[in-house]
Amino acid sequence: MDTYAVWGNPIAQSKSPQIHAVFAAQTGQAMKYEAILGDPQQFEQQLRAFFAAGAKGCNITAPFKQRAYLLADCHSERAITAQACNTLKKLDDGRLYADNTDGAGLVSDLNRLGWLKPEQSLLILGAGGATKGVLLPLLQARQNILIANRTLSKARELADKFAPYGNIQALELVRIPPQKFDLIINATSSGLQGKIPDIAPEILLRAGAVYDMQYAKHTDTPFIAHCKGLGVTKLCDGFGMLVNQAAHSFNLWRGVMPQTEMLLAEGKL
């Protein structure tokens, strides 16, 4: 039986083992998948030992996405542009291949919702690793992107880097123009501290739809709760992105794309 895992720290909250168990049963794949707590001091040694013992692949979550990327021997374009990976696959020749399926998972979920159409105006809140991981697939989907970040230099750095791939601009979070955006995506990590991005309520109320890349079990994220309190009705959290990025990883490993509809219909695991 082939071995897979998700590595992170913390990791007990991960839903990946349940998701991949559903995918394996659905597609008849003989595999086991576990959650492993990575040691910040020994992560590279742990990961090498994991693959040396015969593992076929793994997912990577915070805080190890950049370190896993550097450990890999070859990389997909979307991993290179993100300078981080969430998926590793051991190739037949023994090399480690790094991919980043976060953006593909987000695009798949936005398509499922019917929220992704060409040439939309898309506002992304935050310029950290989460944003960097999804920009290439969003630009390939022909979105006109505005990155708003508390620190302008970080947003500009990303906009400059991704400018060859499409229409992308940057500005400070407090300087978002009072226009209607087709879609607003919260890619900040503020919800982990129970906080929300500092964005004017009227901008959220004018939006065609609002998406939070974070998700919370059996409740709303702080950002979703805030938007609901304002009266925003077209809202979604990141559970569908989580399931869809897992499906893209599974397809990379096993050569079959699992169906996500059942998991998404049932809601949070």
Q: What does the pLDDT look like over 52-61, one tens digit per residue?
A: 999 999 999 9
Catalytic residues: 65
Q: What is the pLDDT of residue 196?
A: 86
Which class does domain 2-101+245-260 fall in? alpha beta
Annotated binding site for NADP(+): 77, 126-130, 149-154, 213, 238
Q: How big is the CA angle at 15 (ends 68 and 64), to the nearest 5 degrees? A: 15
**Beta-sheet pairing, 96-99 with 74-75:** parallel
Q: Is the pLDDT of residue 33 over 80?
A: yes
pLDDT digits (tens, 9 = 90+) for 103-116: 999 999 999 999 99
* Angle between helices 129-140 and 152-162 in degrees, nearest 10: 30
Closest CA to 180 of 209, 147, 152, 156: 209
Annotated binding site for shikimate: 14-16, 61, 86, 102, 215, 245
Annotated binding site: 14-16, 61, 77, 86, 102, 126-130, 149-154, 213, 215, 238, 245
- Rounded to an integer, what distance in angstroms lies between the CA atom of residue 37 and that of residue 43? 9
> Which tokens is 134 given?
């999804």
- Rounded to an integer, what distance in angstroms lies between the CA atom of residue 225 and that of residue 108? 24
Q: What is the pLDDT of residue 268?
A: 56
**What value does the mean pLDDT of the chain take?**
95
Residue 267 confidence class, pLDDT cut points 50, 70, 90: low
Q: What is the pLDDT of residue 134?
A: 97
Domain spans, the chain: 2-101+245-260, 116-233
**Which pTM value belongs to this model?**
0.95
Q: Is the pLDDT of residue 269 over 70?
A: no
Is pLDDT larger for residue 269 or for residue 226?
A: 226
Mean pLDDT to the nearest integer, 18-36: 97
Fold classification of 116-233 (topology level): Rossmann fold (3.40.50)
